[in-house]
Structure 1
Amino acid sequence: MKSQKKKNRKWLKGTGIVLLVLLIVGGVYTYSVFKSFKNAVETMNQPIDRKQSEKRVKPVALPKKDPFSVLMLGVDERPGDQGRSDTIIVLTVNPNNKSVKMLSIPRDTRTEIIGKGTVDKINHAYAFGGVPMSMNTVENFLDIPIDYYIQVNMDGFKDLVNAVGGVTVQNNLDFTQDGVHFPVGTVNLNGEKALSFSRMRHEDPRGDFGREARQREILQAVIKEGTSLSSLTNYSTIFSALGKNIKTNLTFDQIMDIQKNYRDAGNNIQQVEIAEKGTMIDKIYYGLVSAEEKQRVQNELKTQLNL
C-alpha cells in the first residue's frame, strides 16, 4: 500500500507540466479515473482553424521531445459578448534543460493586432478574433511559434479552486477586493475569494505586474492541491470542473505524450517578466515595451525553444 502511494505521488508530480497547462490533475491509475480524465480532455478539446506557424520549419513532435509553447488565456466570458483575455501567459517547455519558462504579458501591452490591421492593447485580440487572433498576435509580438492554447473561463475558475478544496497562498499586500479583506500573511481561499484575489490591481503599486504575480500564485496553489493524494478521492468533481471551464487544442494523446516525455520540466518553473512603461495615448492607457526589452525577452524564449 505504501509502495502504491509512492507510485501515485511520483505520477502526480511527474505530471507537473500537464498541471501547469490544465491547472489540476488526478491520478490516472484505475480504469474509472482514467476514463473520467479522458472524457474530460475530450470535452475540453476544441481544435482551431489555424495554419501551422511560419516560425516552425516542421510541426512539433511531442514523442521526440521537441520543445513547445502554450498560450494560456484567462477569459471573462459575458452573455452576448465574446469578452477579453485579461490573463495572458506564455509557457515555453524544454525537456532537454528540464525547465518551463512562464511569461505573463500585461493585458494593456500595446502591439500590432495581427489580422485586424491595427495597433491596440494585446488583450483586444481575443475580442476581435478569438483564440486564433490571440495566438497570431502573441506569436508576432514575441517572434516565437505558439503551438498550443489553453483557454480558461475565469468566472468558472472558482469551480476549479473549490474542486480541489480551496487553496492557501502567501499574501504580501493588505487590500480589499469585491468586499473581501485580504490581510498580509497566510490566506485560505475558496473559489470566490481566489477569483477576487487574482483580479485586484488598482490598489497594488505594481499594477498589472502585482496582479499577474497573484494569478501565478493561485495557479501554483491549485497545482499543489490538485496533486495531493487526497485529491484522488475527488477526481470526478475535479475533472468535471476542468471539462466545463477549459478549452484547448491539445488532444488526449498529446497530453499523455507530455506526461511521459516532459515530466521533469514541470519541476523547474521559471518566471519571466517583461518591463514596460505606462503611457496615455489619445486618453487611453497603454503599456509600452521598448525594442531592447522586447528583444531581450524574445531571445530568452527562443533559446528556451531551441530556435
Structure 2
Amino acid sequence: MSVKRNPLVKRVLIIASAAVLLLVLGAGGYAWYLYHDATDTISDIYQPIGTVPPAGDGTQAVAGGAGGTSSEGTATGAVQLAATGDANPSDTARRIVDLNAKDPFTVLLLGVDERSGDVGRSDTIMVVGVNPAKHSVLLYNIPRDTRTEIVGKGTTDKINHAYAFGGVDMSIRTVERFMNVPIDYYVKVNMEGFERIIDILGGVTVNNPFGFTIDGVNYPQGQLDLDGENALLYSRMRYDDPKGDIGRIERQQTVMGELINKAKRIKTVTKVPEILDEIRANAKTNLTLDDMKALFNNYRKEINTVSKDQVNGGGERIGGIYYYMVSEQERTRMHDKLASQLANDGI
C-alpha cells in the first residue's frame, strides 16, 4: 500500500533537518547558535561501521541494472556488498554511495531498548530503501523475534539479539544476510531518549483501535493524549495484540509519525537545544554532516511516496522459545522487491 506525503519519509532525514535549521529559522544570532549546536551534535553522534566482517563473501549482486544473480534467487541488478577480505572493515571498505549524484541507498534504523547496566536489544528494526529517481521510499519493519543466522556469532537466534551480541555492526551484517542487500547507512536511537523528546514536545495524540492494559496502565479505545512514558509503553505492547509484533510495529509507527509532526512545527524551535541534547545522548549514525546536508538538499523534495511492506511469517516455538519464522521464499520475495526499489533502470 502506498501513502502519499507520509511523514515517515522524514524519519530518514530527521537528523539532517536539525543540521540545516538555519534554513528554517532565517538569519540571526539564535539561528547561528542552533546551527552550530546541531553541527556539534552531528559530530558527537557520528560512528562509522566497522568491527564485524561483512555477510557472505561480499561479492554477490543484490540490486540495480542487468544480469546480477543473488544467492537466494535471481536479482535484476548490480548494487553489491563491499568486496573486502578485511577482518575489520570500515565504511570506506563498503560500496560507495554518492548522495550528491542522488544515488539510491539503504538505511538500517535501530530503536534500541538500552538502559544503564544493560547492553540492550534492538526493539525496532527497519530497513529503508530510498530511490529519488523513483520518487519513493520502501520500508520493511523486521519483527524482532525473527529467527535467522546471527552473522559473526555463528548461531541462529532472534534477529534482535544481534545487537546484544555485537552492537550495531553485528546487527548490520545480520540484516544484510537476512535481506541479502547491502546496508549503506544506519541510525541507532535509544528508545528512552524518545520518551524525553516526547515530553519536551508536549506529548503525542494517538487513536487507539482497541482497549488494553499493560504493566497496570489502562489504554482505553479511542483518542488518547500520552506523555513520553505512556507513549513508549503504548508502543511496546504486543502480547495482547491480535497482530502480535506486527501490531506493536504499527503503534510504534503511529507514535513516531506524531512525534515527527510535532517536531516540524515552527513553534517548537525554542525547544531545539533540549532535543539536540537528547539526540547527542541517545543516537549514533555513520552519516556525516555533509551526508545529511546532501540528503536534505537532494532527496527531500524528490520523495513523495512511501510504501510499507510486511515481513510475512508465523510464530513457532522451538525449545520452548517463541520465534517469528520467515520462509526462504518470503526472504527472496523481500530481496527482489527491495532490489527493484534500488535499481537504476532508466526511470
2:16–2:293 contact (8 Å) kept in structure 1: no
Work out the CA distance in 2 between the residues paired with 1:274 and 1:189.
29
| 2:227 is aligned with 1:190 | yes
SS in 2 for 1:149: strand
SS in 2 for 1:264: coil
Matches within 5 A, 1:55-74: 55-56=80-81, 58-74=95-111
| 2:83 is aligned with 1:82 | no
Q: CA deviation at 1:225?
A: 0.7
Q: CA deviation at 1:172?
A: 0.9
Unaligned runs of 5+ in 1: 1-12
Work out the CA distance in 2 between the residues paired with 1:217 and 1:16.
9
Q: CA deviation at 1:141?
A: 0.4
- Amino acid paired to 2:292: I
Task: Identify if the C-alpha distance between structure 1 residues 21 and 204 changes in structure 2 by more than 3 Å, giving closer, same or farther.
Answer: farther
Give the structure 1 partner of residue 214 of structure 2.
177
SS in 2 for 1:157: helix
Q: Deviations over 1:63-92 (max 9, x none)?
A: 111111111111111333311112111111
Task: Identify if the C-alpha distance between structure 1 residues 252 and 99 changes in structure 2 by more than 3 Å, giving closer, same or farther.
Answer: same
Matches within 5 A, 1:225-236: 225-236=262-273
Give the structure 2 partner of residue 250 of structure 1.
287
Q: Structure 1 segments of 4 or more deviating over 4 A?
A: 15-18, 23-26, 50-53
Task: Identify if the C-alpha distance between structure 1 residues 267 and 179 changes in structure 2 by more than 3 Å, giving closer, same or farther.
Answer: farther
| 2:22 is aligned with 1:28 | yes
1:16–1:266 contact (8 Å) kept in structure 2: no
Q: CA deviation at 1:16?
A: 7.3
1:72–1:151 contact (8 Å) kept in structure 2: yes
SS in 1 for 2:335: helix
1:100–1:265 contact (8 Å) kept in structure 2: no
TM-score by length of 1: 0.89
2:132–2:303 contact (8 Å) kept in structure 1: no
Task: Identify if the C-alpha distance between structure 1 residues 268 and 169 changes in structure 2 by more than 3 Å, giving closer, same or farther.
Answer: farther
Task: Identify if the C-alpha distance between structure 1 residues 16 and 90 changes in structure 2 by more than 3 Å, giving closer, same or farther.
Answer: closer
SS in 1 for 2:134: coil
Q: CA deviation at 1:211?
A: 0.2
Give the structure 1 partner of residue 296 of structure 2.
259
If you compute each CA radius of gyration, which structure gives the higher value, 1 or 2? 2
| 2:331 is aligned with 1:294 | yes
Unaligned runs of 5+ in 2: 24-30, 59-79, 83-94
- Amino acid paired to 1:28: L
| 2:106 is aligned with 1:105 | no
SS in 1 for 2:123: strand
Q: CA deviation at 1:226?
A: 0.8
- The percentage of aligned residue pairs carrying the same residue is 44
Matches within 5 A, 1:132-151: 132-151=169-188
Q: Deviations over 1:203-259 (max 9, x none)?
A: 101110000001111111111111111122221112122111111111111111100
Give the structure 1 partner of residue 248 of structure 2.
211
Work out the CA distance in 2 between the residues paired with 1:16 and 1:172.
20
TM-score by length of 2: 0.79
Task: Report the number of matched residues.
Answer: 294
